[in-house]
Amino acid sequence: MNAVLEPAAGATPWPSWRNRFASLGDAFFTRLPAQPLPEPYWVATSDACAEALGWPADWWRAPGALEAFSGGAPWPGMQPLASVYSGHQFGVWAGQLGDGRALWLGEVDSPSGPMELQLKGSGLTPYSRMGDGRAVLRSSIREFLCSEAMHHLGIPTTRALCVTGSALPVRRETLETAAVVTRVSPSFIRFGHFEHFAHTAADRAALQRLLDFTIDHYAPECRDAREPAAALLEWVARRTARLLAQWQAVGFCHGVMNTDNMSILGLTIDYGPFGFMDGFDPGHVCNHSDHQGRYAYARQPNVALWNLHALAQALLPLLVPEGADTAAADAAGERLLEALEPYREVFPRELQSRMAAKLGLATQRDGDRELIDDLLRLMAAEHADFTLGFRALAGLRTADGADHAAVRDPFVDRAAFDAWAARYIGRLRAEGSVDEERAQRMNRVNPKFVLRNHLAQAAIERAQRGDFSEVERLLKVLQRPFDEQPEHAAYAAHPPDWARSIEVSCSS
């Protein structure tokens, strides 16, 4: 995108802003302006995200848009603030945290309801904790691309509207340049917001206001429950279970599943050291900073449940009257644990359903779980490419003597694959599967294109030289992850050998 832009005739007028989160009160945030990027320029915008907001594609040409979305003069109606929350980081209580490099701008009405906009990388806040409040071009491009990629994969996520950049130097592992990414979400409320008022602030009234706010605006079906706090917990547990099943089914690793990085709406939030697996490895750790492997791919579902228990603990004061005895507290705790039970039911059911769909199974039969598990064991044994392996299976044919050379290609142990494929073909024949119909179904759930680290890295390196064309091109590819796109076949190829050396950490 050109770094110097002139407002177009009839450009987008400023939208009307609302600020419901600000109604919670000063205990929830600090009002402060952003710190503007010096000499900002546009890096990338998402037309699809703009459309979701009800904005035209040329919104960024509106007078003052570049300044507003790089931390300069806000548009009329924006009320910049940084929210406070707490949380557990890598399983350890970290106390007060908060928006250390993010700034909430407010809400706009969209075709799908109110959407909050937030700047990430807009400078120091009271919650920066020794940080500089800035984000770098590298991490901003990664979040921008992955937010939009996940949306087009059909996975619940925050969105990304745009990235702006500047020559301002920022120190991470090396000296890099600054950037700001604008995030979009129905809400940025996290588990950690509830933890803050239950533990750090010990403010029962504020905790109750937060609960009421969340239920009234996002989960009104919980309002008439006998215990709305328990009802909300179950609501969150179900949404989180479905989210985790989707992550696992597509081979996505979040990398830093701290409670302050868990959305109360069950959205993927806070893209830092994430990664889509190349070679399948249940023990894969995408975060170079995660030395104990707490957030390995196979551990993500249990970590999510652990985090839900932390949320339950934060909600406990709302079920226990002040001055209640230990027995009353224990009984309330049991009711919250019961509210978490649906997670144990929903997650495995959703994952089984999604994995069966990846194999094109139209019915449920005994032995399906073993068939799926045996394929995953085979893939893990030789680190077969997760995305390419499942995509290739759509080419399998059930006729005797069919040529399966292309289907076998992702697997080194051909004999082991052939033995599994014989069982798979028998299963497909048993339900009368029609090859072409099944292939179409499979290609609607097994993406051909995901944001692999080496693709993001190539786009980042060109952007660091001032060329943003690869960011735009990659975004367009990722917006159609299930389509063949033969003209972009290189984006679906096996990753190059140098991709193994890419490391992402909490600064990524």
Give yes or no for a contact between 181 and 135, defined as CB atoms under 8 angstroms apart: yes
Identify the bridge partners of residue 388 per DSSP, sorted by sequence position.
Answer: none
- State mean pLDDT over 157-173: 96
Q: Which residues contact 352 (CB under 8 A, 6 or more apart)?
A: 368, 369, 372
Residue 422 has pLDDT above 80, yes or no: yes
Annotated catalytic residue within 132, 203, 260, 435: 260
- State mean pLDDT over 428-432: 96
DSSP, residue by residue, 70-92: TTSSPPTT---EEE--EEEETTE
What would the pLDDT profile of 21-73 be if each residue is shown by its tens digit?
999 999 999 999 999 999 999 999 999 999 999 999 999 999 999 999 999 99
pLDDT of residue 329: 87
Identify the three-state secondary structure at position 316.
Answer: helix
Percent of the chain with pLDDT over 90: 87
pLDDT of residue 131: 84
pTM of the model: 0.95
36-53 core/surface letters (b: 16 or more CB in 10 A; e: else): bbeebbbbbbbbbbbebb
Q: How many CB atoms lie within 10 A of CB 400?
A: 6
Question: Between residues 328 and 508, which one has the greater pLDDT?
Answer: 328
d(CA 501, CA 227): 51
Beta strands in 273-405 (DSSP E): 275-276
pLDDT of residue 5: 32
Three-state SS string over 193-238 comes to HHHHHHHHCCCHHHHHHHHHHHHHHHCHHHCCCCCHHHHHHHHHHH
Q: Which of 331, 317, 271, 284 is nearest to 507 (CA)?
A: 271
Active site residue 260: yes
Backbone angles phi, psi at 159, to 5 degrees: -110, 175
Identify the three-state secondary structure at position 253.
Answer: strand
DSSP, residue by residue, 15-82: PPEE-SGGGG-GGGEEE----PPSS-EEEEE-HHHHHHHT--TTGGGSTTHHHHTTTSSPPTT---EE
What would the pLDDT profile of 460-479 be if each residue is shown by its tens digit?
999 999 999 999 999 999 99
What would the pLDDT profile of 315-371 be if each residue is shown by its tens digit?
999 999 887 888 888 999 999 999 999 999 999 999 999 999 999 999 999 999 999
Cα 294 to Cα 247, 340, 385, 503: the distances in Å are 16, 21, 23, 17
The rounded mean pLDDT for the chain is 94
DSSP 13: P
Using CA atoms in the order 293, 385, 357, 52, what is the torsion angle rounded to 10 degrees? 80
pLDDT-derived band at 4 (thresholds 50, 70, 90) equals: very low
What would the pLDDT profile of 127-143 be if each residue is shown by its tens digit?
998 889 999 999 999 99
pLDDT of residue 466: 96
Cα 426 to Cα 362, 365, 413, 436, 502: the distances in Å are 14, 12, 20, 17, 41
Residue 202 has pLDDT above 60, yes or no: yes
Identify the three-state secondary structure at position 271.
Answer: coil
pLDDT of residue 474: 98
Task: List, in sequence order, the alpha helices (H) in 403-468.
Answer: 405-408, 414-430, 435-443, 453-464
pLDDT of residue 394: 97
What would the pLDDT profile of 273-293 be if each residue is shown by its tens digit?
999 999 999 999 999 999 999
pLDDT of residue 501: 78
pLDDT of residue 507: 59
Give yes or no for a contact between 38 and 168, defined as CB atoms under 8 angstroms apart: yes
d(CA 151, CA 419): 36
Residue 10 has pLDDT above 90, yes or no: no
pLDDT of residue 173: 84
What would the pLDDT profile of 67-109 be if each residue is shown by its tens digit?
999 999 999 999 999 999 999 999 999 999 999 999 999 999 9
* Poorest-pLDDT segment among 71-80, 114-123, 181-190, 493-502: 493-502
d(CA 305, CA 500): 31
DSSP 426: H
pLDDT of residue 8: 45
Give yes or no for a contact between 213 and 105, defined as CB atoms under 8 angstroms apart: no
Residue 435 has pLDDT above 80, yes or no: yes
Q: How far is CA 481 from the centre of its chain?
A: 16
pLDDT of residue 102: 97
Q: How many CB atoms lie within 10 A of CB 437?
A: 11
